[in-house]
């Protein structure tokens, strides 16, 4: 069955690795991620954005994730990514999600605290992990777009006050990464990660995992990042494999013939990220 991500992430922070969280949009993507984690004996987090919940339905996602979890020995959590609607949070908890992100990072600090606290009271009482964001991660994720000039980094002292005031189990502080593929190398404020980690004991979450060079990922994890989110790279790998099938043979009309290579490519890409996070053998 699906497990809460809280103990997985606490173990990761305590032992200097990160659990990789993958955004999935189809059954094949979900299967490929769990297969990758199984092959590497790594804990894993499946996640869906609000858009994917609307696209597939929370019940279909939960059912598929539960079946995948029942077929593997590695712990699997199911997380709702970047949700800013209380109604959808309740809907996903009722459907069986084991982890929730309340993203009120676009609101003033006091409102972010209030919204997060409301979700913490609901979710953590029943053993469901809660993640919140401070500062604003740049780039585009689902229906959330943050222009470069609007992206703001999290303040370490505010992070400490935020965790104390909300009791949130995991914190995603904006530290210079962005959603999507970077133009060049991301400008990560490593010093800030260290200052936040020294004030906040809960596992920290690295958003914008696509396109971060391995050496930067490792440095961020060594400083306290215990979960890395990967979305864009998986979408690209999956779509590119499908495009290649059609480029080679435009007459293909059996979905299995283009989804199988896409699934295989995604499994390899996911394994690469799990290795980068140091999560191999941690299940």
User: Which one, of 28, 4, 2, 87, lies nearest residue 53 by Cα?
Assistant: 87
Binding mask 66-85 for ligand 13P (x = CB under 6 A): ---------------xx---
Stretch that binds Na ion, among 53-61, 68-76, 208-216, 240-248 (CB under 5 A): 208-216
Residue 133, beta-bridge partner list = 172
Question: Quick one: 172 or 274, whose CB is closer to Zn ion?
Answer: 172
Q: How far apart are CA 106 and CA 115, in angstroms?
A: 11
Edge-to-edge strand order for the sheet containing 138-141? Answer: 144-146, 138-141, 178-179
Contact flag: residue 131 with ligand 13P (CB under 6 A): no
Contact flag: residue 173 with ligand 13P (CB under 6 A): no
State the nearest-atom distance from the C-beta of 210 to ligand 13P, in Å.
3
Question: Quick one: 135 or 208, whose CB is closer to ligand 13P?
Answer: 208
Q: Is residue 234 helix, strand or coil?
A: helix
Q: How far apart are CA 62 and CA 51, in angstroms?
A: 15
Q: How far apart are CA 188 and CA 194, in angstroms?
A: 12
3-state helix, strand, coil in the chain (%, to 5): 50, 20, 30
Is 251 known as a binding-site position?
A: no
Binding site for Zn ion (CB under 5 A): 207, 229
Stretch that binds ligand 13P, among 55-63, 145-153, 208-216, 262-270 (CB under 6 A): 208-216
Is 70 known as a binding-site position?
A: no
- Options 138, 173, 203, 211; binder of Na ion; rule CB under 5 A: 211
Contact flag: residue 136 with ligand 13P (CB under 6 A): no
Per residue in 221-256, is it b (16+ CB within 10 Å) or e — as a string?
A: bebbbbbbbbbbbbbbbbeebbeebeeeeeeeeeee
Q: Under a CB-based contact definition with an 8 Å cutoff, are residues 266 and 240 in contact?
A: no
Q: How many residues bind ligand 13P (CB under 6 A)?
A: 15
81 as an active site residue: the answer is yes
State the nearest-atom distance from the C-beta of 23 to Zn ion, in Å.
8
Rounded to 5 degrees, φ, ψ at 207 are -85, 165
State the nearest-atom distance from the C-beta of 232 to Na ion, in Å.
6
Is 137 known as a binding-site position?
A: no
State the nearest-atom distance from the C-beta of 175 to Na ion, in Å.
13
Check residue 153 and report its DSSP letter: P
The entry of ligand 13P, Na ion, Zn ion, none near residue 79 (CB within 5 to 8 angstroms by kind) is none
Q: Under a CB-based contact definition with an 8 Å cutoff, are residues 102 and 124 in contact?
A: no
- Residue whose pair of structure tokens reads 């404020």 in the numeric block: 189
Is 132 known as a binding-site position?
A: no
Indicate the residue whose CB is closest to Na ion. 208
Cα of 189 vs its chain's centroid, Å: 20
Task: Give binding residues as ranges.
Answer: 82, 103, 133, 179-180, 207-210, 229-232
Q: Which residues are catalytic?
A: 81
List the binding residues for Zn(2+): 82, 103, 133, 179, 207
- Binding-site entries for dihydroxyacetone phosphate: 180, 208-210, 229-232
For Na ion, the binding residues (CB under 5 A) are 208, 210-211
């Amino acid at each position: 069955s699906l497990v809460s991500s809280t103990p997985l992430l606490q173990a990761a922070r305590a032992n200097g690795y990160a659990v990789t969280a993958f955004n999935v949009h189809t059954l094949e993507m979900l299967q490929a991620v769990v297969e990758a984690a199984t092959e590497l004996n790594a804990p894993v987090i499946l996640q869906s954005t609000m858009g994917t919940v609307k696209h597939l339905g929370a019940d279909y996602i939960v059912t598929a994730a539960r079946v995948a979890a029942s077929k593997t020995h590695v712990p699997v959590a199911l997380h709702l990514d970047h949700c800013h609607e209380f109604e959808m949070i309740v809907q996903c908890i009722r459907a069986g999600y084991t982890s929730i992100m309340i993203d009120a990072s676009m609101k003033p600090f006091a409102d972010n605290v209030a919204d997060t606290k409301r979700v913490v009271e609901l979710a953590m009482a029943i053993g469901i992990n809660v993640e919140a964001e401070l500062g604003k991660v740049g780039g585009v994720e689902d229906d959330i777009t943050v222009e470069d000039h609007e992206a703001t980094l999290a303040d370490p002292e505010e992070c400490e006050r935020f965790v104390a005031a909300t009791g949130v189990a995991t914190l995603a502080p904006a530290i210079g990464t962005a959603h999507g593929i970077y133009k060049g190398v991301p400008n990560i404020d490593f010093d800030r990660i260290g200052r936040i980690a020294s004030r906040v004991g809960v596992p920290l979450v690295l958003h914008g995992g696509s396109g971060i060079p391995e050496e930067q990922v490792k440095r961020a994890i060594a400083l306290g990042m215990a979960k890395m989110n990967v979305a864009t790279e998986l979408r690209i790998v999956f779509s590119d494999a499908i495009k290649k099938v059609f480029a080679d043979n435009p007459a293909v009309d059996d979905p299995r013939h283009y989804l199988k290579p896409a699934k295989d490519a995604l499994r390899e890409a996911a394994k690469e990220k799990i290795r980068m996070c140091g999560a191999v053998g941690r299940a």
